[in-house]
Amino acid sequence: MFDTFSEMKFLLKQLVKRDLTSKYKDSVLGILWSFFNPLLIMLVFTAIFSMLFGRTIENYPVYFLSGRLIYDFYNNATKGAMRSIKSNAYILKKIYVPKYMFSISAVCYEFVNFLISFVILFGVMLITGAQFHITSLYAIVPIFFLVILIFGVGLILAVCNTYFSDIGYLYNVFTLILMYASALFYPMEIVPAQVQMIFTLNPVYSAISCFRECVVYGIAPNLNTLAYLAVFAFTVLGVGILLFNIYDKKLSLEI
């Protein structure tokens, strides 16, 4: 069972497809919701905060969106992976499927949504007359590390969530703090210098700042930040795989 790569690939494809269809099944606007959601939030934030930070941030809508997309991806994908095993318990109890396949598919599904939301970012960049930079291509690197980080965090959370059903509430609080610590809607300059140190430890902020450097400012990403993100991401992934391996076999008795 699931001995070859083509079987795994097909299962992954089917699982992602299942999630995508069920998301857009009942809504008239269908896939357009993926566009509207970040767009509306961006409009609200721009209306409120561009008065405050408009002078320090050159193109506020693009500044905000570029951070928000990354944060949303992290937020949704880790939460999706967290719930993945519990919400598929009825299948896991009856058919043998490697459990991590559900976690991986949850992340892949959010990755597809993330890619769709790029259309919004580029659209807003066009409308606001922002410059497109060739360095945007470098953005693949921080995004890759971000995905690694998400896989790691997702695996850890998926295990915890099967044992403790209230992990989700705690994690919601955590991601809220994380959002404020990611400089989504304000410029880094307003943060006191001592506190900025803490921000640089936040791997999601590292991803956001690298992404902004590539896409918004048109410079190569800061290598130190990128290296920190990479080390952090792979460490978390290592811990995640280890934890998942230890608990994998016990999970089917807990769900």
Partner 1 sequence: MSFMDKVLRFFRKKDAVVLPADEKGEVVIEVKDLVMEFKVSKDKIDTLKEYVIRTIKRNKKEKQKIRILDGVSFNVHKGERIGILGFNGAGKSTLLRIIAGIYEPTEGSIKIKGKLAPLLELSAGFDKNYTGKNNVYLNGAFLSMDEEFIKEKYDEIVEFSELGEFINYPVKNYSKGMKSKLGFSIATAVNPDILIIDEILAVGDIKFKQKSSAKLKDMMKSGATVLFVSHALMDILEICNRCIWLENGKIIMDGDTKEVIDAYVERSKKK
Which residues within the stretch 137-176 sit at the binding site for partner 1 (CB under 8 A)? Answer: 163-167, 170
Contact 217, 155 (CB under 8 A): no
Q: Is 11 in the site for partner 1 (CB under 8 A)?
A: yes
Q: Does 22 bind partner 1 (CB under 8 A)?
A: yes
List the interface residues with partner 1, window 71-90 (CB under 8 A).
90
Which amino acid belongs to residue 196? Q
Instruction: Return the amino acid letter for 218.
Output: G
Assess 27 for contact with partner 1 (CB under 8 A): no
Nearer to partner 1, 111 or 171 (CB): 171
Residue 70 or 155 having the CB closest to partner 1: 155
Minimum distance, C-beta of residue 81 to partner 1, in the bound complex (Å):
18
For residues 16 and 10, give the distance between their C-alpha atoms in angstroms, rounded to a whole number. Answer: 10
DSSP of 188-208: GGGS-HHHHHHHHH-HHHHHH
194 binds partner 1 (CB under 8 A): no
Task: Please count the other Cβ atoms lying within 10 Å of the Cβ belonging to residue 203.
Answer: 24
Of 94 and 195, the one with the shorter C-beta distance to partner 1 is 94
State yes or no: residue 136 binds partner 1 (CB under 8 A): no
Min dist. Cβ of residue 31 to partner 1 (A): 16
Q: Mark residue 4 as left, alpha or beta (left: phi above 0; alpha: psi -120 to 50; beta: remaining).
A: beta
Site mask for partner 1 (CB under 8 A), range 88-127, x = bound = --xxxxxxxx------------------------------
Within 10 angstroms of residue 64's Cβ, the number of other Cβ atoms is 25
The rounded distance, in Å, linking the Cα atoms of 210 and 142 is 6
First to last CA, the chain: 21
Which residues lie near partner 1 (CB under 8 A)? 1-11, 13-15, 18, 21-22, 25, 90-97, 163-167, 170, 249-250, 252-253
